[in-house]
Amino acid sequence: MFKFSSNTLWLLLLMATGFTYWLGESGQVGHGSMVPVFLIFGVSFFKGLGVILDFMDLRHAPVLWRNLLMGWLVFVVGMILLAYWIGQ
């Protein structure tokens, strides 16, 4: 996995936030295609990984802590996707 400096990662997270905001506000989401939805949540998942591993400094933490937080991230993103899918 890539290791960025905090400033570089912050800029990447900022750009990813802008991208997902633009995609959500552009009207592409919710018109029958699940591709933009999966794209938004995929980017959000990798943003969460960046925060967990680098800003929370869990990249070199014990495996239990890393797996607990990454499992939480998978659970939350999965539940939101499930709720979106059921709502369709």
- In the DSSP assignment, the letter for residue 32 is S
pLDDT of residue 61: 92
Name the residue with higher pLDDT: 71 or 37. 71
Rounded Cα gap, residues 11 and 85, in angstroms: 31
Q: pLDDT of 14-66, one tens digit each?
A: 999 999 899 888 876 666 677 788 888 899 999 999 999 988 989 899 999 99
Rounded Cα gap, residues 59 and 78, in angstroms: 22
pLDDT of residue 15: 95
This prediction has a pTM of 0.79
Instruction: Collapse the DSSP code of 61 into the 3-class scheme (helix H, G, I; strand E, B; otherwise coil) and give the result.
Output: coil
Contacts of residue 6, Cβ cutoff 8 Å, sequence gap at least 6 = 54, 55
Identify the band that residue 2 occupies on the pLDDT scale cut at 50, 70 and 90.
low
pLDDT of residue 69: 95
Residue 87 is which amino acid? G
pLDDT of residue 1: 54
Q: Which long-range contacts (CB under 8 A, 24 or more apart) does 4-8 make?
A: 4/54, 6/54, 6/55
